[in-house]
Amino acid sequence: MAKACNVALIGQGFMGRTHSNAFLKVSKFFKGLPLDPVMHTSFGMKQENPKVFAKHWGWRNYSDDWKAVVRSRDIDYVDIVTPNFMHMPVAMEAIRAGKPVGTEKPLAGTLKDAKKMVDAAKKAKAKTFVWYNYRRCPAVSLAHQLVKDGKIGRIFHVRCIYLQDWGGPDTPLLWRFQKKLAGSGAHGDLNAHIIDMARFVTGDEITEISGAIAETFIKERTIPSVGAAGGIAGGSKGSRKKGKVDVDDAVLFLARFKKGAVASFECSRLAMGYQNQNGIEVHGEKGSLRFRFEDMNYLEYLDYTANPKTRGWTKIMCTSAAGGHPYVEAWWPDAHILGYEHTFVNQAADIMRVLAGKKPVVPIPDFADAYETQRVLEAALVAAAKRRVVKMSEVK
């Protein structure tokens, strides 16, 4: 039998639900994991009613004292799903307690906090993880493998977008619109994902940022009802008091990669009609790849070395265990498609593998890896504010 791994969840809300579901399901689908995650304790603020959350999602215990949870000798792994400003203090406490720790993306609310986390983890030789869950889409993992196998050759151009439409004027002043809690707006929430995806798929690092634009279109929002600060839902219909928005609604920028490729990145919470359009295109000398999360089971591939008479895009349904598509052997028969929640279950499986000293299916970002994405986020904001080219060597 697999050894038990007692997990503590620090935070609730939207990400608390996705992570809880992952730990609840992972051992039921991924047979033979070296560790079996036990949903030991969840933390939530008093106003979030942690008892109700814990009971609903299957956590054995609950607490409104996160430090006590993190320090408990019973806990083997600490999982952080709080708003971004709390990632650093919780992670530092976990590292001091000698615990492996994972956190939602981005790594931290600020580059300074992220650096503290990286340095502490390195000094303690702690095992760390960041939940860039889109790496765990079978289609994105397959794209990573195809590039690594040389199927598209030298990369010329990368195009990344992440467009959503939930940030309209009627959306209240949630924590994601406040710099002190989130660090940045759509940039840290959405661009973080596509920067990580571009780094992951290409296997290359960004060296320069230029042409950056950051804009806040909606300057004020209605202050939500008390208790909604830790989640992403809940304004008060009767409230008319407004608060200042001090993060971006949209950020666009250009980039250069170390091996010579150029790239564009575009994110917005005000792209009406796009509910969760997370996409990447990679164009190279031998072919191209493209992916859109709203059609997440497919990867499109063009083999440019094929006969021009029959050359064209191939739409690959990435659900074949026989075809070796990543992760799908744990799930359903071919074409019985996967969804958003499966990416988190896939990541939970890889975390259990790494904690046991095994290899993940595809590389999983630790704090040091995620710090490189955080540096790019910072460089883009500097480039936008100063309206100039920013070399990555300037951002540390």
User: Rg of the chain's alpha carbons, rounded to an integer?
Assistant: 21
Q: Which pLDDT belongs to residue 52?
A: 98
Which of 100, 131, 162 is the endpoint of a domain?
131
pLDDT band at 231 (very low <50, low <70, confident <90, very high): very low
pLDDT band at 1 (very low <50, low <70, confident <90, very high): low
112 and 210 both lie in a single domain? no
- Kindly state the tokens that stand for 315: 């739409």
88 and 165 both lie in a single domain? no
38 and 112 both lie in a single domain? yes
273 and 167 both lie in a single domain? yes
Arithmetic mean of pLDDT over the chain: 95
pLDDT at 234 over 90: no
pLDDT at 369 over 60: yes
Per-residue pLDDT tens for 262-273? 999 999 999 999
pLDDT at 186 over 80: yes
CA distance linking residue 212 with residue 231, whole number of Å: 30
Per-residue pLDDT tens for 114-137? 999 999 999 999 999 999 999 999
Q: What's the order of all strands across the beta sheet hosting 3-10? A: 61-63, 35-43, 3-10, 77-80, 101-104, 128-131
Q: Which pLDDT belongs to residue 235?
A: 44
100 and 163 both lie in a single domain? no
pLDDT band at 375 (very low <50, low <70, confident <90, very high): very high
In a domain, 112, yes or no: yes
Per-residue pLDDT tens for 198-227? 999 999 999 999 999 999 999 999 998 754
In a domain, 293, yes or no: no
Per-residue pLDDT tens for 51-88? 999 999 999 999 999 999 999 999 999 999 999 999 99
Q: Which pLDDT belongs to residue 104?
A: 98
Which of 72, 99, 131 is the endpoint of a domain?
131
CB contact burial 268-290 (16+ within 10 A = b; e otherwise): bbbbeebeebbbbbbbbeebbbb
Looking at the chain, the whole-number percentage of residues with pLDDT higher than 90 is 95
Residue 265, domain CATH: 3.30.360.10
Helix, coil or strand: residue 124: helix
- Kindly state the tokens that stand for 43: 């933390």
178 and 114 both lie in a single domain? no
Looking at the chain, the whole-number percentage of residues with pLDDT higher than 70 is 96
Q: Which pLDDT belongs to residue 301?
A: 98
Residue 30: strand pairing partners = none
Helix, coil or strand: residue 55: helix
174 and 95 both lie in a single domain? no
String of DSSP letters for 278-310: EEEEEEESSEEEEEEGGGTTEEEEEETTS-TTT
Mean pLDDT of 41-48: 96
207 and 86 both lie in a single domain? no
Is residue 269 within 8 Å of residue 185, measured between CB atoms? yes
Which of 131, 166, 188 is the endpoint of a domain?
131
Residue 105, domain CATH: 3.40.50.720
Contacts of 240 (CB under 8 A, 6+ apart): 222
In a domain, 183, yes or no: yes
pLDDT band at 228 (very low <50, low <70, confident <90, very high): very low
125 and 162 both lie in a single domain? no
Q: Which pLDDT belongs to residue 226?
A: 57
Q: How many domains does the chain have?
A: 2
Tell me the residue range of the domain where 255 lies.
Answer: 154-284+366-386
Instruction: Name residue 99's amino acid.
Output: K
Instruction: Name residue 293's amino acid.
Output: F
105 and 222 both lie in a single domain? no
pLDDT at 31 over 90: yes
263 and 160 both lie in a single domain? yes
Q: Which pLDDT belongs to residue 239?
A: 57
Mean pLDDT of 89-107: 98
pLDDT at 141 over 90: yes
Least confident of 16-25, 95-104, 145-154, 172-181: 172-181
Strand residues in 180-276 grouped as ranges (E): 206-215, 220-222, 242-244, 250-257, 262-268
Whole-structure pTM value: 0.94
The helix-helix angle for 111-124 and 367-386 (nearest 10°) equals 160
pLDDT at 233 over 60: no
In a domain, 322, yes or no: no
52 and 105 both lie in a single domain? yes
Is residue 257 within 8 Å of residue 155, measured between CB atoms? yes
Q: Which pLDDT belongs to residue 225?
A: 73
Mean pLDDT of 330-347: 97
Is residue 145 within 8 Å of residue 325, measured between CB atoms? no
In a domain, 78, yes or no: yes
Q: Which pLDDT belongs to residue 240?
A: 79
